[in-house]
A and B are shown apart, each in its own frame.
Chain A
Amino acid sequence: MRKFSAIILCKIISIIGKMFGKGSSLPGEIALKMCPNVLSEIKMPKYIIAVTGSNGKTSTTEMIAHILSSNGISVAYNKEGSNQIAGVTTFILNNSTLFGKVKRDVLLIESDERYAKYTFKYFAPTHYVITNLYRDQLTRNGHPMWVFKAIEQSIKAESRLILNADDPLVSLFGWERDDIVWFGADKLESDSEEFRGAYNDAAYCPVCHRKLKYSTYHYNHIGHYYCESCGFKREDTKFSVTKANLKDGYAVINGKHKINLALKSIYNIYNILAAFTVASLVGIDEGEIASSINNYVLKNGRVQNFAIGDRRGILLTSKHENSISYNQSLRLASQDTEGCDVLIIVDAISRKYFTSDVSWIYDVDFEMLQSPNVKNIVLAGTYCNDLAARFGYTDIEADKIKVTDSIASAVEMLDNGNSEKIYVITCFSDKGKFIERVELI
Chain B
Amino acid sequence: MRILHLYHDLMNLYGEYANISALAKILEENSVDYTVDKKSLEDEVEINEYDFVFIGAGSEENQKVALAHLLKIKDDVLKFIDSGKVFLATGNAFEMFGKKIETPSGEYTGLEIFDFVTVRQDKKRITADAIFKFGEEMKLVGFINKSGWTYGVETPLFKVLMGLGNNEESGVEGVVKNNFFGTQLTGPILVKNPHFLKYIAEILAGKTLTNNTFSYEKAGFEITLNKLSDRR
In the complex, chain A residues whose CB is within 8 Å of the CB of B219: 385
Within 8 A of B (CB), among A105-146: 135, 138-146
In the complex, chain B residues whose CB is within 8 Å of the CB of A198: 15, 17
- Does A354 have its Cβ within 8 Å of any Cβ on chain B? yes
Q: How many residues of chain A have a CB within 8 Å of chain B?
A: 39
In the complex, chain B residues whose CB is within 8 Å of the CB of A385: 216-217, 219-220, 223
Within 8 A of A (CB), among B175-232: 186-188, 191-192, 214, 216-217, 219-220, 223-224, 227-228, 231
Q: Which of B17, B41, B125, B192 contacts A146 (CB 8 A)?
A: B125
Q: Which of B18, B61, B129 contacts A362 (CB 8 A)?
A: B18
In the complex, chain B residues whose CB is within 8 Å of the CB of A386: 192, 216, 220, 224
Q: Can you name the residue of chain B whose Cβ is closest to the Cβ of A204?
A: B10
A145 touches B59 (CB 8 A): yes
B220 touches A362 (CB 8 A): no
User: Given known contacts A149-B122, A209-B41, is B216 in contact with A403 (CB within 8 Å)?
Assistant: yes
- Complex CA–CA separation, A204 to B214 (angstroms): 35
B17 touches A203 (CB 8 A): no
In the complex, chain A residues whose CB is within 8 Å of the CB of B145: 138-139, 142
- Does A409 have its Cβ within 8 Å of any Cβ on chain B? no
- Complex CA–CA separation, A392 to B28 (angstroms): 14
User: Closest Cβ of chain A: how far from B37's Cβ, in Å?
Assistant: 17
- Complex CA–CA separation, A146 to B61 (angstroms): 10
Q: Can you name the residue of chain B whose Cβ is closest to the Cβ of A135?
A: B13
A388 touches B125 (CB 8 A): no
- Does B150 have its Cβ within 8 Å of any Cβ on chain A? no
Q: Can you name the residue of chain A whose Cβ is closest to the Cβ of B125?
A: A142
- Does B103 have its Cβ within 8 Å of any Cβ on chain A? no
- Does B118 have its Cβ within 8 Å of any Cβ on chain A? no
- Complex CA–CA separation, A347 to B221 (angstroms): 15
- Complex CA–CA separation, A388 to B59 (angstroms): 28
Within 8 A of B (CB), among A11-70: none
Q: Can you name the residue of chain A whose Cβ is closest to the Cβ of B224?
A: A356
- Complex CA–CA separation, A386 to B218 (angstroms): 9
In the complex, chain A residues whose CB is within 8 Å of the CB of B21: 393
User: Closest Cβ of chain A: how far from B219's Cβ, in Å?
Assistant: 4
- Does B151 have its Cβ within 8 Å of any Cβ on chain A? no
User: Closest Cβ of chain B: how far from A170's Cβ, in Å?
Assistant: 16
- Complex CA–CA separation, A425 to B223 (angstroms): 22
In the complex, chain B residues whose CB is within 8 Å of the CB of A204: 9-10, 41, 62, 65
Within 8 A of B (CB), among A276-334: none
- Does A199 have its Cβ within 8 Å of any Cβ on chain B? yes
Q: Can you name the residue of chain B whose Cβ is closest to the Cβ of A386?
A: B220
- Complex CA–CA separation, A200 to B80 (angstroms): 29
In the complex, chain A residues whose CB is within 8 Å of the CB of B14: 138, 359-360, 362-363
B127 touches A211 (CB 8 A): no
Q: Which of B10, B25, B192 contacts A358 (CB 8 A)?
A: B192
Q: Mark B4-34, 1 if CB is under 8 A from A, else 0.
A: 0000011011110110011001000000000
In the complex, chain B residues whose CB is within 8 Å of the CB of A149: 122
B220 touches A140 (CB 8 A): no
Beyond A389-B220, A403-B216: 12 further Cβ-contacts under 8 Å? Answer: A135-B13, A139-B143, A141-B125, A199-B12, A200-B9, A204-B10, A209-B65, A362-B18, A383-B220, A383-B223, A385-B219, A386-B220
| Residues in B lying within 8 Å of A, measured CB to CB | 9-10, 12-15, 17-18, 21-22, 25, 41-42, 59-62, 65, 122, 125, 127, 129, 141-143, 145, 147, 186-188, 191-192, 214, 216-217, 219-220, 223-224, 227-228, 231
Question: Can you name 18 A-B residue pairings with CB atoms under 8 Å?
Answer: A140-B127, A141-B125, A142-B147, A199-B12, A203-B10, A209-B41, A355-B143, A356-B224, A356-B227, A357-B143, A358-B192, A359-B143, A360-B15, A385-B217, A386-B220, A386-B224, A389-B191, A390-B18
| Residues in A lying within 8 Å of B, measured CB to CB | 135, 138-146, 149, 198-200, 203-204, 209-211, 354-363, 382-383, 385-386, 388-390, 392-393, 403
Q: Kindly list the 6 A-B residue pairs having the minimum CB-CB distance in the complex, ordered from nearest.
A: A362-B15, A359-B187, A385-B220, A357-B143, A359-B14, A385-B219
